[in-house]
Each structure stands twice: as C-alpha cells, then as structure tokens.
Amino acid sequence: MGFTDTRFNVNLSILFTELPLLERPAAARAAGFTAVELWWPWTDAPVPERSELDALRDALRDAGTALVGLNFYAGQLPGPDRGALSLPGEESERFRANVPVAVDFGRSLGCTAFNALYGNRVEGVDPAEQDALALENLACAARAVGADGTLLIEALNAPESPRCPIVSAPKAVEVVDAVNAATGLDNARFLMDLYHLSMNGEDLDEVIDRFTGRTAHVQIADNPGRCAPGTGDLDLGGLLARLRKNGYDGYVGLEYKPGDGPSAGAFGWLPAPLRAAR
C-alpha cells in the first residue's frame, strides 16, 4: 500500500481496549509498536489520583513505548460529550483543572503534543459565547503546553458528531490561527484526521496540498467503517505518500476499530518492520 517511510503510532484508547488500560502498552509493544497515543484515559476524572497516573506512567515506560500524543480531558469518549472546553460551567472548569495535570503527565514521558477537542454546541447557549469560552480555554492550554510543545486542533465529522462546530479542515485551521493570534506563541497546529475529513466529504488531496504545512499530527482509519487500512475505499497509502511529498514527516496515528477479533490481529496490512518508530 505504499506505507514505507511513514512513522506509525497506535492509539491505545481505540485499539487494545479489550485489555485493561495498564496492559495495553505491553500489548502494543508485543505487536511491534514503540510509539503510542492516548485519549485522556480517565473519562470521569480530569484530575485522577496520583497513584493512577504513576501506574500508567510505569506501564508505558516498562513496555518501552513512547507517548507521542495525549488528549486533554474531553468527557466520555467515544460517546456523546465530544469535548469540554467550550461547555460553560462545570465542564469548562474540569477542562481547566485537567490542563496542568495532563501537561505534567505527558511531559514526564517526553510527550509534547496535546490534543484539545473543541466540544459540542449546547442548546440555549449563544454559539458566540461558546466560541469565546473555547478560545479562552484553548489559549490557556496553549500557554501550559509552552512554546516548545504543540497544541493540536482537529476537525471531527458531521455525521457522527452533528453538534460539533469544527467539522472541516478550513474551520479547524481557522481555530488554530485564532489561538496563535491570542497567545503569540505560534504553537497551535492542525491535527489532520483523514477518516473524519473523508466522512465530511472533503477532497483529501486538496486538504493535504493546502494544509500540510499547518499540520503537526495525522490520524488514519479507513472509510466506511473506521476500520483498518484496506477494509474500505480510501487510498491511505497514496494519501500518506502525498503528505510526505508535501513535507510531512511526523507520526501517523492508527485510530481505527480492530474489527471482530483481538487488536493484535488488526495490523496484518502493516509489515512488522514498519511498526517501530524510526
């Protein structure tokens, strides 16, 4: 499929979920991967107990898996919440409380890329009020991440997240620009999820040509089904080759459903030598 020269990491919040959280890093390493990413693992706890943070840190280190991406708290994922930073009241406060905890945890493992999901529209709340709150919280997160880190902004897809206002590449990059203007740090970047963009019906070749230079992380799954490459209609090998031609040399996160079997069997499309970070 033309995946040579691509650096892959595996998302342990959608793959290997048949295992307890602390067993997933070792399972990913046994499958050949040396780099992983995570959604915030504690969906009900933006500030978990120190012992839980320490246990996950130890599991990642013991497995020999580098953490290369971490989501901030966003409520229940997968599920209806889809972000907290634009939700007035308690959820916004929970996001703010999570930011220094997530940054400290990620930094302790060498992670410098942090993803902030925008959040859904809420009935009875002025969208402009939500957008102002979101910008305030994103700027807070960008400052916590620091000039030597990256705050990631991604577009979700309208069919699966109809109340999320960020459902196109141009809109996500508009938010990136707003955050950078607010902080002056220039550390916000686009997270290009090819599955979400394809679900929105976007021209992926055009998106890649237009926004590769603004992109700091890429995620993939095939469409339809959000399963492994080769199970759907997307030419993911060609798209990744186009990204490389446009200068992208970062990680590509595997963020797909494993199918009916164990996650360890969901990587037959990817030769073992290409699974380890190079």
Enumerate the active-site residues: 154, 255
Distance CA 13, CA 93 (A): 24
Backbone angles phi, psi at 86, to 5 degrees: -105, 10
> Which tokens in the block code for residue 66?
């580098």
Q: Is residue 237 within a helix (H) or strand (E), and if so which, with residue range? A: helix 236-245
Beta strands in 123-170 (DSSP E): 150-154
Helices 90-108, 50-63: axis angle to 10 degrees equals 40
Beta strands in the chain (DSSP E): 7-11, 35-38, 66-71, 113-115, 150-154, 188-193, 215-220, 251-254
- Within 224-274, residue ranges assigned H as helices are 236-245
> Which tokens in the block code for residue 14?
């959608």
Backbone angles phi, psi at 130, to 5 degrees: -65, -45
Q: Is residue 42 within a helix (H) or strand (E), and if so which, with residue range? A: none
Distance CA 195, CA 239 (A): 11
- Angle subtended at Cα 247 by Cα 224 and Cα 275, rounded to the nearest 5 degrees: 55
